[in-house]
Amino acid sequence: MIYTLLKRSVFISVVLLTFFIISCGSDGSGEKSTTDGTVEKTESTKKERKVKYWQAPMNPSEIYDRPGKSAMGMDLVPVYEGDDEETGGTIKIDPLTSQNMGVRTAFVEKVDFIRVLRTVARVDYDEESLYAVSPKISGWVEKLYVEYEGEEVKKGQALLEIYSPELVTTQQEFLLALKNKELIGSSSFKSVRDGAESLLKASRLRLTYWDIPESEILELEKSGKVRKTLTLESPANGVIIKKNVFEGLHVKSGTHLYQIADLSKVWVYASIYDDEASWIKEGQEVEIELSYAAGKKLKGRVTYIYPYLNEKARDIQVRIEIENPKRELKPGMYANILIKTSPIKNSLVVPTEAVIRSGQRNVVFIALEKGRFEPRDVVIAEESEDGKMRITSGLEEHEKIVTSAQFLIDSESRLQEAIQKMLARKSGDSPMPAKKKMDMSGEKDSNKSGVDSDMKCGDGMDMEKKSNTKMEKESDMKCGDGMDMEKKNQTKMDHDKDGHDN
């Protein structure tokens, strides 16, 4: 029993000693001790990245060749080789930063692009359904049957009665020609009979040319009584839109007395800008939205495109015909027009917000692998109703593009480009002064404390602002000259003490 316990104790001691030796052989810092007491670098240390330059955290253009303090007194941040060596304007952003920036992406799509044109239009009368009422004889208005504008009339409805001496004379001539035919109609001479018939036809035709209704002519022929006045009737169904006549008014032949409009169909005039004219074709479907009837849409078609441009408004008039049986559309109203254009097959489209438009360039950022972004110039065309923009060149289908935070990416791209130019100019024209480099392997030398002291004083070189040189001199004076002044003061105090003792 005792032998067994001793055996277990020895085994545990050996195991503990082995772990102790292994732990002493490696200090966890990427180095391990050898039998001769030297330090050997591990594989992880060999792969340690090299610092390219040091950068101020609040001012990326403030660059130093070694660690220290920035002009604002903040610790400098290292920039490693390979982090900013993207070419062709391509930049690299780590995934965490991209997430904090709110970067979102989408893919380039190929679809049938349909553009919907929105514009404002006004409702007007159908010019093919306008009618004018004008007498063909002169006379006086004896009686009005339609006395105000806006009154609805039917075809054949009496509008007014007019007295004309010429009309009375013509009626009398017609009655005489009628009696003459009855008297000589049985004559044996054919020429006499034909003459009487011709005179009667001429009298009847004259009454017809004066717009005397056929019913009144038959009544005159039957009764043999001359009527004093002539009744003018409505030529069509519609609404009186103009009235220029009153009872007792003397009118001449051709005077415009009434104007009648049929509102069962109306014309809508839409204004299209000159750069949109190529999208408009006759026969295209149109939707009309009324501001006072929310959610209600009327259908129509483009029937005519006017061949001239309005020079003042720089637009083109497009005529749209719409049936208006319920008279919901009234001339003079304004309406919103949606014109659906013909689709463009296999068009490349991207979200509208993905394009950065500077006036001279149109840029889209391509999201590459491993957090890299590439700016790409594109040629844009039209925008669709659903927020898509057609691209004519610069992109390919299925490419991943950035749809948000691209302004931040663009700023980062410009900043990195500026830093690279500054570094290239500095290395080529005025190289950095030789200074003690940091031992990146972690080994310490005897001058480490002096270097650390200089670094704390901000002894770096700002590649953008020359004013930092002055700050370095002042910082060096405080760290070096301050100690000399302290020694001088101590020497003076010792001298004064010796004099007092004497």
- Give the domain CATH number at 321: 2.40.30.170
Q: Which residues contact 254 (CB under 8 A, 6 or more apart)?
A: 134, 135, 136
Residue 101: phi and psi, rounded to 5, are -75, -15
Lowest model confidence (mean pLDDT) among 57-71, 100-114, 205-219: 57-71
| 359 and 387 together in one domain | yes
Q: Are 358 and 375 members of one domain?
A: yes
- The residue out of 426, 442, 462 marking a domain boundary is 426
Residues 372 and 338 in one domain: no
On the question of pLDDT at 408 being above 80, the answer is no
Please enumerate in sequence order all residues whose Cβ is within 8 A of that of 152, keeping only pairs 6 or more positions apart, or say none: 238, 239, 240
Res 180 pLDDT > 70: yes
pLDDT for the residue numbered 463? 38
51 inside domain: no
Q: How confident is the model at residue 387 (pLDDT cuts 50, 70, 90)?
A: confident
Residue 123 has pLDDT above 90, yes or no: yes
Go through the chain and tell me how many residues it has: 502
Alpha-carbon distance 426 to 432, whole Å? 7
Q: Return the minimum-mean-pLDDT range out of 358-362, 433-437, 495-499.
A: 433-437
- DSSP type of residue 278: G
153 & 243 share domain: yes
pLDDT of residue 127: 93
As to burial, measured by CB atoms within 10 angstroms (0-12 exposed, 13-18 middle, 19+ buried), residue 151 is middle
Q: Does residue 50 have a pLDDT over 70?
A: yes
Q: Out of 116-125, 348-357, 451-460, pick the least confident.
A: 451-460
DSSP 222-245: HH----SEEEEE-SSSEEEEEE--
- Could you tell me if 335 and 359 lie in one domain? no
Residue 458 lies in a domain: no
Out of 3-12, 364-373, 474-483, which region has the weakest mean confidence (pLDDT)? 474-483
CA distance 349 to 384: 9
Residues 267 and 411 grouped into a single domain: no
Same domain, yes or no: 245 and 279: no
Opening angle at CA 281, ends 275 and 286, nearest 5: 100
Output the domain CATH number for residue 406.
2.40.420.20
The answer on 288 and 252 residing in a single domain is no
Percentage of the residues of the chain whose pLDDT score is greater than 70: 69
Q: Which of 128, 154, 143 is nearest to 239 (CA)?
A: 154
Q: Of the given ranges (46-60, 158-172, 219-233), which has the lowest mean pLDDT? A: 46-60
| Average pLDDT value for the chain | 75
For the segment 213-236, the average pLDDT, to the nearest whole number, is 86
Instruction: Report pLDDT for 246.
Output: 92
**Confidence label for 91 from pLDDT (cuts 50, 70 and 90):** confident
Burial of 11 (0-12, 13-18, 19+ CB in 10 A): exposed
Residues 243 and 163 occupy one common structural domain: yes
139 and 248 together in one domain: yes
Q: Where are the beta strands (DSSP E) in 77-194?
A: 77-80, 91-92, 104-107, 109-113, 116-125, 130-133, 139-144, 152-153, 158-163
Residue 419 lies in a domain: yes
Residue 442's pLDDT is 38
SS3 per-residue string spanning 178-217: HHHHHHHCCCCCHHHHHHHHHHHHHHHHHHHHCCCCHHHH
| Residue 69, domain member (yes or no) | no
Domain-located, residue 20 = yes
Confidence of residue 437 (pLDDT cuts 50, 70, 90): very low
262-288 pLDDT per residue, tens: 999 999 999 998 888 888 999 888 999
- Residue 62, in any domain of the structure: no
The boundaries of the domain holding residue 13 are: 2-46
Contact 135, 162 (CB under 8 A): yes
Note the pLDDT of residue 102.
80
Tell me the backbone φ, ψ of residue 434, rounded to 5 degrees.
-70, 125
> What is the number of other CB atoms lying within 10 angstroms of the CB of residue 356?
17
Domain contains 378: yes
125: helix, strand or coil: strand
142/244 same-domain check: yes
28: left (phi over 0), alpha (psi -120 to 50) or beta: left
**Is residue 323 domain-shared with residue 301, that is, in the same domain?**
yes
Average pLDDT over residues 435-447: 37
Which contacts of 170-176 are long-range, i.e. CB under 8 A and separated by 24 or more positions?
170/203, 170/206, 170/207, 170/210, 171/207, 171/220, 171/226, 171/227, 172/226, 173/203, 173/206, 174/200, 174/203, 174/204, 174/206, 174/207, 174/217, 174/220, 174/221, 175/220, 175/224, 175/226
Cβ 106 vs Cβ 112: under 8 Å:
no
User: What CA dihedral angle connects 278, 281, 286 and 290, to 10 degrees?
Assistant: 50
Residue 61 placed within a domain: no
Lowest mean pLDDT among 333-337, 395-399, 476-480: 476-480
- pLDDT given at position 262: 94
Total domains present in the chain = 4
DSSP line for 375-399: EEE-EEEEE-TTSEEEEEES--TT-
CB 339, CB 284: distance < 8 Å: yes
Q: Which of 256, 275, 298 is the last residue of a domain?
A: 256
pLDDT at position 142, please? 92
Better-predicted residue by pLDDT, 54 or 335: 335
Helix intervals (H) in 224-349: none
Stretch among 8-22, 216-230, 320-334, 340-354 having the lowest mean pLDDT: 8-22
Q: Which of 376, 394, 426 is the last residue of a domain?
A: 426
Task: Quote the pLDDT of residue 204.
Answer: 87
DSSP 417-444: HHHHHHHHHHHHTSPPPP-PPP-TTS--
**What b-and-e string marks burial along 271-298, b requiring 16 or more CB atoms within 10 Å of the CB?**
bbeeebeebbeeebebebebeeeeeeeb
DSSP code of 43?
Answer: H
